[in-house]
């Protein structure tokens, strides 16, 4: 792994499809809106994209903590964008923060932002 600078950023964009909806994950009677597990998946991908360019061949990253609130419903057809920014690096441990937006509305945050911790691993 090459040194990962604080401030490195990554994004991930997804158009909400029927397979991404809450009523597909828990209970069919839930409204047809973007599911929290899919929201976290978008954030995870943005977080990986923030550090991907610093990883050596055979390395990836796994999440060790996610702290987020799902603040707004997003229907099918809307585009969701997560942007991650590295906020702390301690050896192979990397902390990131991100907002997640649908259009211009923040739909996920903890006090305005989400947080994710990862560890860089070697895949064998």
Highest mean pLDDT among 45-59, 69-83, 93-107, 110-124: 45-59
Angle, CA of 73, 76 and 81, to the nearest 5°: 70
Catalytic residue among 11, 13, 36, 64: 36
- Asked about 97 being catalytic, the answer comes back as no
SS3 22: helix
- Asked about 44 being catalytic, the answer comes back as yes
102-123 b/e (C-beta count within 10 Å ≥ 16 → b): beeeebbbeeebbbbbbebeee
Among 15-24, 41-50, 61-70, 71-80, the range scoring the smallest mean pLDDT is 61-70
pLDDT of residue 110: 37
Query: Six-digit token pair at 82?
Result: 């997560």
- Asked about 13 being catalytic, the answer comes back as no
SS3 41: helix
Q: How confident is the model at residue 4 (pLDDT cuts 50, 70, 90)?
A: very high
Catalytic residue among 13, 20, 64, 70: 70
Catalytic residue among 44, 83, 97, 101: 44
């Amino acid at each position: 792994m090459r040194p990962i600078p604080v401030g490195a950023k990554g994004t991930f964009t997804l158009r909400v499809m029927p397979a991404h909806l809450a009523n597909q994950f828990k209970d069919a009677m839930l409204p047809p809106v973007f599911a929290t597990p899919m929201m976290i998946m978008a954030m995870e991908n943005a977080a990986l994209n923030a550090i991907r360019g610093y990883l050596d061949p055979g390395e990836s990253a796994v999440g060790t903590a996610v702290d987020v609130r799902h603040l707004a419903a997003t229907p099918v057809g809307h585009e969701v964008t997560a942007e991650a920014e590295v906020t702390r690096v301690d050896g192979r441990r990397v902390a990131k923060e991100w907002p997640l937006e649908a259009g211009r509305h923040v739909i996920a945050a903890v006090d305005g932002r989400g947080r994710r911790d990862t560890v860089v691993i070697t895949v064998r």
